Amino acid sequence: MNRDINEILRRLRDEIRQHDYNYYVLDNPTITDAEYDGLMAQLIELEEEYPHLITSDSPTQRVGGGLRNEFGVVHHTVPMLSLSNSFNEGELRDFDRRVKQRIGALPKYVIEHKIDGLSVSLEYIDGIFVRGATRGDGIVGEDITLNLKTIKSIPLKLKDPLTLTVRGEVFMPKHAFVALNESRSLKGQSLFANPRNAAAGSLRQLDPSITASRSLDIFVFNVETIQGNYFNSHVEALNFLGEQGFKTSPIIAVESSIDKVIDICTEWSERRHNLYYDIDGLVIKIDDFIYREVLGETTRNPRWAIAFKFPAEQKETKIEDIIVQVGRTGVLTPTAILTPITVAGSVVSRATLHNEDYIEEKDIRIGDIAVIQKAGDVIPEVVKIREDRRTGNEVRFVMPKNCPECGADVVRLKGEVASRCTGNACPAQLKRRLIHFVSRDAMDIEGLGPAMVTQLLENKLISDAADIYYLTYDDLIGLERMGDKSVSNLLKAIEVSKTRGLDRFLFALGIPLVGARAAKLIAEHFQSIDKIMKADKEAFLEIDEIGEKIAQSITGYFREEQNIELIRKFRYADIQLEYEKAKSIVQNLRGLTFVVTGTLEGYKRDEIKDLIEERGGRVVGNVSKNVDYVIVGESPGSKLDRAKELNIDIIDEKEFNSFLKDQ
């Protein structure tokens, strides 16, 4: 009996999947909504009667019913790099020149829309969708599998039993965005600023049924990894993905002439508004995968692709006032308060004015009519002032002589553009330092956001970042919106943050000019906070990428007695103040490039990749003349043939293990 029911279920699921594909991918439904609902009702009824026969790829499993306490962490097998941007014809021609010089040939460029959404990875094993993740920082993302399963243009089962990872962009169609905001307005809820913001918020819902109600969509645009297949070009790979059931990124054109590429970019600057989804530019990619291998990538961007960003939309509005905000390093930043106006899809009511020199250079006055745009379609800025529309009632801005937060003197040092508060106990500086300290890229203390930081300060429970680690249950239980479970979760999050590592801790301190990259380089070089505190400027200058200003900033920071005392407090709280990752890992694979193909007995794919990269090597996805070794497991596929064609050294798993010891 089960065999007959299994066959009925299989046919029913396949039929529904085909209709999903026709409707959500091809935009060509072949049955009515009522007929589709009837098929789904049959499937739901059968699965309720035979729950032991429900499969993870069934169309009924797209909407999860339960809440998730948190998102898990996903380490991307292939780093999800971002694209470098171009904003004009000259930068596109520079890209074309660099490509031709490096490959010594005339490339073909594939042009696609740059979807204004949220980048995700989708992982399939034997043709079944098993995991999906956000881009995160490109190396580590969040597990949002259940939410992604609600997007009907994502196939839960592929045509063939493939093991692969693809990358795509999740977006909210314009009509869905309008409907969502109309619904929220009727309920008295806050509105989303733009479709991208709405899509991002929808994907990170803890309740997948909320995500399912948001009408999200996706375009898949890259094969990240695949077992048993080899593609020669991007167009070939996209066509293959389309055959497997993916909704792939539309290819606008394939061109060899950079002149034609530039013409297409100019044309789409106007045509973009006619699409049913938002794009903020075009993506230009090298089609040939061999050329991609030759070009390679930096730690942040592939050299074989570039984004052309459309010129920013400009609008006019009135500067109603100019206020001053105090940052975590004491810098006073003037901000224009604007008559609210919609620019590039979101409402703008403020724009940073940077500093006094910026205001004087543009002659910005309170009451002026200003031309506003979003830099990179993100950050509002004043482009220029409409002097021809002045009435004579405009007021010049003067930087205050005293800090608006604490009343301390404001100074501007010779050679600097920034005005700074001199108050050591300035509450505005302290609050912003604390918000930075607990932020995701720093100590990442979940549940300790700006509102909670404000509460802790107002209740005099903390006076510096180290005090966070001395908070108790009794301190927190009386605060607003802090019940027993919330307090327990926050204390656990604080405890977990103690092991973030020296590099994250150093970045969290908020030392001027010491960003995340500099903090990591310094931590790797010195290995402990004690050595960092004792080092002189010359010792920091020995590190690649660390310049004079960073060296002066960090040595100056650790000369201050209050900062030395702060480190003592962190030490007593058992914060990890040594750098552990780099201990005793020999860089014996530095300069070598590997391809891994087939199934390995002793390693998972991400494990062998981590092992190679920890030792200074590099793992790439395709075989080219720049590859030094191809590691072959069971069922290697066409990459083995390609390696033989190019006469590249081929080693198996056992030889690789011996190779590690011999190097």
Residues marked as catalytic: 114
322 phi-psi bin (left φ>0, alpha ψ -120 to 50, beta other): beta
Beta-carbon neighbour count of residue 369 at 10 Å?
17
Maximum Cα interatomic distance, the chain, rounded to a whole number of Å: 89
CA angle 148-152-158, nearest 5°?
Answer: 85
CB 612, CB 593: distance < 8 Å: no
Q: Are 86 and 307 in contact (CB under 8 A)?
A: yes
Which residue, 481, 475, 445, 473, is CA-closest to 457? 475
Query: In terms of C-beta density within 10 A (0-12 exposed, 13-18 middle, 19 or more buried), how is residue 183 classed?
Result: exposed
Positive or negative: CA dihedral 474, 480, 485, 487:
negative
The DSSP bridge partners found for residue 630 are 595, 650
φ, ψ (nearest 5 deg) of residue 385 = -105, 140
| Beta carbons within 8 Å of 299's beta carbon, 6+ residues apart | none
User: Helix %, strand %, coil % for the chain, to 5?
Assistant: 40, 25, 40
Cβ proximity of 635 and 660 under 8 Å: no
Beta-carbon contacts of 572 under 8 Å, excluding residues fewer than 6 positions away, are: none
**Cα separation values, 247 from 121, 125, 163, 196, 640, Å:** 14, 19, 18, 19, 30
Distance CA 158, CA 124 (A): 8
Cα-Cα-Cα-Cα dihedral of 513, 309, 291, 227, to 10°? 90
**CA 323/CA 332 separation, integer angstroms:** 10
DSSP string, 209-261: HHHHTT--EEEEEEEEEESS---SBHHHHHHHHHHHT--BPPEEEEES-HHHH
Cα within 13 Å of Cα(91), Cβ side: 13
Distance CA(350)–CA(510), nearest Å, equals: 25
Structure-block tokens of residue 150: 């609600």
